[in-house]
Amino acid sequence: MGCTPSIHVNQTGLVICRESEDSNSHIASYSAAYHTRVVKSDGTTETSSGVAVTSLDKQSAFKELVPLTLKQGNESLNIEAQTQTSIRIEMKSTNNEVSLGPMKLKQKTMSILLVFAKEDAQSDGFWWAADKIGYKCYIAHNPETAMENYLDKHPDVVIIDHRNSKHFDAEALCRSLRATESSEHTVIVAVTKRYALDKEEPSFLPSITAGFNKRIVESPNISMCMNELLTLEYGEVQSRLKLSACKAVFSALDNVSDAVEISSEDLEVQYVNHAFERLTGYSSEEVLGKNSSEIVKNDRNRPDLNDTINSQLKKGKYWDGIYHTRRKSGEILPSHCHICPVLGQGGKISHVISIKNSTTDTSHILKESTEFNLVNGRLSRQSSGLHGVPRRKESIARIHSMTIEAPITKVINIINAAQESSPITVVQALDKVLEILRTSELYSPYFAQQNMKDNDPMTSDLVSGLVSNVKRSLTPSYLSDVNSNSSGKQGHHSHLHIPSPVTSSLSQVPDHIQEILDKDYTWEFNVIELEKVTNKRPLLYLGLKTLTRFGICDFFQVEESVIANWLKLVEGRYHSTNTYHNSTHAADVMHASAYFLERERNKAVFDQMDEIACLIAAIVHDLDHPGRTNAFLVNEKNQLAILYNDQAVLENHHSALAFQLTWKDDSVNIFKNLETDDYKILRQNIIDMVLATEMKQHFQHLNKFINSINKGCLKMDETSSMSGNGSPDSTMMLNQLSAPENKTFIKRILIKCADVANPCRPLDVCKEWGKRIAEEYFLQTDEEKARGLPVVMPVFDRKSIRIPKSQLSFIDVFINEMFESFDDYCDIPELISHLQTNYQYWKERDEESSEKSEQENLPNGTTEDDT
């Protein structure tokens, strides 16, 4: 029994005839000379006998192979390739020009992907048809290869064998292709079985639902395959080319400054661009499907104006004039408006287009009405219209007439006005300024890897772990051998009940505790010592003393016992099992906040409510902290992360829980006697400061402080040095600092500095806090690896970490600039001195650790001295 060949054209365009014992090809009765003929890249052909044959190109090979008898069932088809004019067409030229209205599009050579489990006469027919016309053609034999080829080649047409589900599910493959982004402009065709005339054919609707655009009934006839492919190119493929061009048109419309609206002939809104949304205040979702005239209806337009416009449209003419537009807010703006019809089938109006731009004084710019005619599909203006006023002038007039809704709008308007009389280079520079100003996060820095100090992974991890909630990659295999019992969930969700201490008043504080508290007014105050002598209850004692010093009982009009009860309650909700985020940290932050509030400039800027808000925010800023970062909670899908939509998860929880606990019982409710308005202001201040402690917003808050506060203080200091502290200019600057918005910026930085002041503490305290925060990060890394969670900060591995290096990185990235800025504002030289001393200490320890690691040939080795 003779074998049948499988015919291919590879990617280099070579005709290959392969032997195939199981081929389904119906081409039979080849002479032995054709069985192993291969067209080689050098243009010669070898037969099975090894005799070289002169150059055999694709067309001549095809001619030699086609005039055979094809048998399919009981049918016999004689194909005389030499006499068939449809097969003798010349190779198709590429890059045909296609018109879409005035647009000229170039259609590239069509590419086809054939998906056939086994090659047969049908696949060969399409292959040879594509070759004759000049199309690019690829073939795949299973869904996986088909998907790989589709994503790599992006063919215009995919032809899938839908005759038999034995090898793969054609509809499932079609759905998979349609699930990709690039499938929108792909034509997917199904090859279906040919049924006898007396047999009922199944519905093709399920295949259409799956994503097929067309079906072709099986026929290996080369002419039929060629005609089908040509029909696809000049039909479906060209239509999709035009649709892709339409996307470019809509993108252009969304980026023009004029408001564009497209409606049906019945004025039902079908499309509005972004400028329309800005002009009217309506979103596209609010207007689509609504009647255009009803959306902007108002009493400023002439009663007969709509009739006049409709009359012009029915004549196939454009209307141009002043039209008053009602915004969503109720405000009415005059608009220079162009309204034109689009003629469809039968010369009837299919769409109405409206183009508006607002302007105030239009009498010197525009005529009341201008008519346009359609001449050969193009616009013919019947009057002078804009009187030669440049388009940019008209656009600026519209911008200046807009209602100012935000300070940034004023800035943009000023820049736009400045561009009018500026040289082109300045205009281009200001355009870049406007682009930056229109971004949503003006104060968020961009962290490029090359900007990280020395491309340091420690610094990179700190930034990624503390400033972002982005998931990090899972633990590498070489780090997965950590003992799962080393971490567990120690203290993660536990709450320790702390018994009520003996004291509820300052008069009952034991002498050994009072001796430590007497130093609370200095920066050298050691909260670690207070933690030890109070049995991990420093917040109650230090809080009661500090709050009393700032007059909290008089401010809230409550007894001292209410303050003490509230402090007991709050301290009880801090996790004493946390090595860092516990009540000692809260007491430390409160002490730093109180110290900052005593600075002369803060005393001049803040009132008592500001001071109380700062102290309470410091006390509750980490309430019920689980000892894990926000990113950890998001990655483990913690209920708090779900509740707060992954945004500032812990900070939202701290502030919300603080108010929930306070209002639960009258005996702890420090807010109960406040006036409603005072409570609202105080609550808003506390929430804002607690949320400011989220490190993700660190650089935004810092940049706002530098630009709004530091620069003002610099002018204030210069004025004071020249004319004395009591000068009018100095007083004016102080008033500016006391403005509510500026006080908010100051309070945010105040609590942020208090929250991360550890590197500015005396060295022994600084080292203790450094060890504690590292241990808490170690526990988180251990748990992440044990539970298979993404590791947020991989360098915090207790086996390889260098604590001095982590401290240096933290100071470089987060501490230096913030404390220098705060020092410029309120003069804290003692903190800067400690910061410099501590930085030098960590640097020396890190160098020693590096040298020891190199000597012992142990990378990233650590020693007991490191901690």
Q: Rounding to the nearest 10 degrees, give the CA dihedral for residues 659, 661, 667, 669.
A: 0
Q: Rounding to the nearest 10 degrees, give the CA dihedral for residues 704, 706, 708, 709.
A: 130
Distances (CA, A) of 80 to 67, 90, 120, 648, 831: 5, 17, 20, 76, 97
Query: Residue 21 carries which DSSP code?
Result: T
List the end-to-end C-alpha distance of the chain, in Å, as a whole number. 84
Distances (CA, A) of 495 to 569, 571, 659: 12, 11, 18
CA 261 from centroid of its chain's CA atoms = 29
Q: Interior CA angle at 156 toward 151 and 160, to 5°? A: 80
Q: What are phi and psi of 219, to 5 degrees?
A: -170, 120
18 C-beta neighbours (distance < 10 Å), count: 14
**Which residue reads 């008033």 in tokens?**
735
CA–CA distance, 71 with 68 (Å, rounded to integer): 10
Which of 462, 496, 498 is CA-nearest to residue 578? Answer: 496
Evaluated on CA atoms 684, 686, 687, 693, the torsion sign reads positive
CA–CA distance, 570 with 568 (Å, rounded to integer): 6
Beta-strand pair 269-272/259-264: antiparallel
CA–CA distance, 53 with 38 (Å, rounded to integer): 10
- Rg of the chain on CA atoms, in Å: 39
Q: Interior CA angle at 439 toward 438 and 442, to 5°? A: 110
CA–CA distance, 223 with 146 (Å, rounded to integer): 26
CA–CA distance, 279 with 331 (Å, rounded to integer): 11
* DSSP three-state, residue 765: helix
CA–CA distance, 279 with 355 (Å, rounded to integer): 11
Q: Is 581 a catalytic residue?
A: yes
Distances (CA, A) of 571 to 452, 539, 547, 548, 800: 38, 6, 15, 17, 34
Catalytic position from the list 162, 338, 492, 581:
581
**Residue 710, Cβ density class (10 Å: 0-12 exposed, 13-18 middle, ≥19 buried):** middle
* Contact between residue 692 and residue 751 where contact means Cβ atoms under 8 Å apart: yes
Which of 601, 629, 589 is CA-nearest to residue 757? Answer: 589
* Contact between residue 375 and residue 288 where contact means Cβ atoms under 8 Å apart: no
* Contact between residue 29 and residue 71 where contact means Cβ atoms under 8 Å apart: no
Q: Interior CA angle at 399 toward 396 and 405, to 5°? A: 155
CA–CA distance, 302 with 215 (Å, rounded to integer): 57
* Contact between residue 18 and residue 136 where contact means Cβ atoms under 8 Å apart: no
Region for 536 from its dihedrals, namely left if φ exceeds 0, alpha if ψ lies in -120 to 50, beta otherwise: left
If DSSP states are collapsed to H, E and C, what string results for 297-352? CCCCCCCCHHHHHHHHHHCCCEEEEEEEEECCCCCEEEEEEEEEEEECHHHCEEEE
Evaluated on CA atoms 600, 602, 607, 613, the torsion sign reads negative
| Token pair in block for residue 606 | 């803040």
Number of H helices and number of E strands within the chain? 36, 21
Residues tagged active-site: 581
